[in-house]
Amino acid sequence: MTEISLEQEIQAKGLTAPRVTPEDIDEAIDDIAAIQYHVFPGTTVTVACVPLKNGYTVVGKSACASADNFNEELGRKIAVDDAKQQMWALLGYALREELAKQPATVT
Per-residue model confidence as pLDDT tens digits over 55-103: 999 999 999 999 999 999 999 999 999 999 999 999 999 999 999 998 8
Q: Tell me the sheet residues that pair with 18.
A: none
Sequence spans of domains, the chain: 25-95
Query: Which stretches of 1-107 are DSSP H helices?
Result: 3-12, 22-28, 72-100
The CATH number fitting domain 25-95, selected from 3.30.70, 3.30.160, 3.40.720, 1.10.287: 3.30.160
Residue 65 confidence (pLDDT): 95
pTM for this predicted structure: 0.87
Under 8 Å between Cβ of 73 and 62: no
Three-state SS at 65: coil
Question: CA-to-CA distance for 52 and 46, rounded, in angstroms?
Answer: 19
